[in-house]
């Protein structure tokens, strides 16, 4: 069996290549050169490149879980879930290639230990909300909703050019999910509700406004509807 440090060198090299150039940069030749090993060593330790990528994803998940476990819990379980969500999204944006390995190819038949640990951590955070009497759906349903929102949001942000990302989208989506699972629904601001309603009726004003006027009105109403 090869020394542990050889395996670590290969994982570190593959992880660095993944961060720098994405999945296509992680080739047998590139990894073996960066790690200072012969290509057969990679196959002996990981089976094939798919096995190596699984190991890299697991290492990334270990880093992610380390951040989550370092989070100090408070007396407010909902606030703690917000922090956990922020950590999740931040990790994805800081390590998009790792995140895509971890979440971009879901396979119920191939759940890693790290992914299972991440799910257990989220379940614990949601169960604390239930124990506080603030959950209006079952824990599994709430976990699925939070996980779907967090994963989908992060993948969407990764696919969006940084300069075009909406900095408020993450918190707004989470608050919508929290409202659904806790029943704590904030009253919709009157102005925003009015603007959203009118925005949906613009197409009916074709005989009143010119196309240019409708475009301008749509832009202004979107800003008001999205205002917090």
Note the pLDDT tens digit of each residue in 84-98: 999 889 988 988 888
What pLDDT, on a 0 to 100 scale, did the predictor assign at position 129?
Answer: 92
**Residue 112: band (very low, low, confident or very high) from pLDDT cuts 50, 70, 90:** low
* Domain definitions of the chain by residue range: 1-47, 53-182, 190-226
What confidence score (pLDDT) does residue 1 get? 47
CB 42 within 8 A of CB 52: yes
pTM over 0.95: no
Measured distance CA(113)–CA(193) in Å, rounded = 45
Number of other CB atoms surrounding residue 123 within 10 Å: 16
Report CA 165 to chain centroid distance, whole Å: 14
Question: What's the confidence (pLDDT) of residue 96?
Answer: 87
Domains 1-47 and 53-182 share a fold: no
- Give residue 110's pLDDT band: very low, low, confident or very high (50, 70, 90): low
Mean pLDDT, residues 44-73: 80
Question: DSSP letter at 162?
Answer: G
Q: What is the pLDDT of residues 130-145, one digit of tens each?
A: 998 888 888 899 999 9
Query: Could you give phi then psi for residue 124, rounded to 5 degrees?
Result: -60, -45
What is d(CA 148, CA 110) in angstroms, rounded to the nearest whole number? 18
Cite the DSSP H helix spans in the chain: 4-21, 28-35, 39-46, 49-69, 77-94, 96-103, 113-131, 139-158, 169-182, 190-199, 211-226
Domain 53-182 sits in CATH at 1.10.357.10
How many C-beta atoms lie closer than 10 Å to residue 93's C-beta?
A: 14
Residue 24 is classified by DSSP as: G
Is CATH 1.20.120.640 correct for 1-47? no
Which tens digit of pLDDT belongs to each residue from 147-173? 999 999 999 999 999 999 998 999 999
The residue with greater pLDDT, 119 or 75, is: 75
């Amino acid at each position: 069996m090869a020394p542990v440090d050889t395996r670590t060198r290969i994982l570190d090299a593959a992880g660095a290549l993944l961060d720098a150039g994405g999945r296509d940069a992680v080739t047998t030749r590139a990894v073996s050169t960066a790690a200072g090993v012969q290509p057969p060593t990679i196959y002996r330790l990981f089976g094939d490149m798919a096995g190596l990528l699984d190991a890299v994803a697991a290492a990334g998940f270990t880093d992610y879980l380390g951040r989550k476990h370092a989070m100090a819990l408070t007396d407010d379980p909902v606030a703690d879930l917000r922090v956990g969500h922020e950590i999740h999204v931040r990790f994805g944006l800081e390590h998009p290639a790792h995140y895509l390995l971890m979440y971009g190819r879901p396979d119920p038949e191939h759940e890693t230990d790290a992914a299972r640990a991440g799910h257990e951590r989220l379940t614990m955070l949601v169960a604390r909300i239930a124990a506080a009497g603030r959950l209006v759906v079952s824990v599994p349903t709430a976990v699925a909703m939070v996980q779907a929102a967090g994963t989908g949001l992060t993948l969407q942000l990764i696919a969006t050019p940084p300069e075009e990302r909406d900095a408020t989208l993450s918190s707004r989506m989470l608050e919508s999910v929290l409202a659904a699972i806790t029943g704590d629904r904030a009253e919709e601001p009157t102005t925003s509700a009015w603007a959203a309603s009118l925005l949906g009726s613009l197409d009916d004003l074709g005989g009143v406004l010119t196309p240019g006027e409708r475009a301008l009105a749509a832009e202004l109403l979107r800003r008001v509807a999205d205002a917090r």
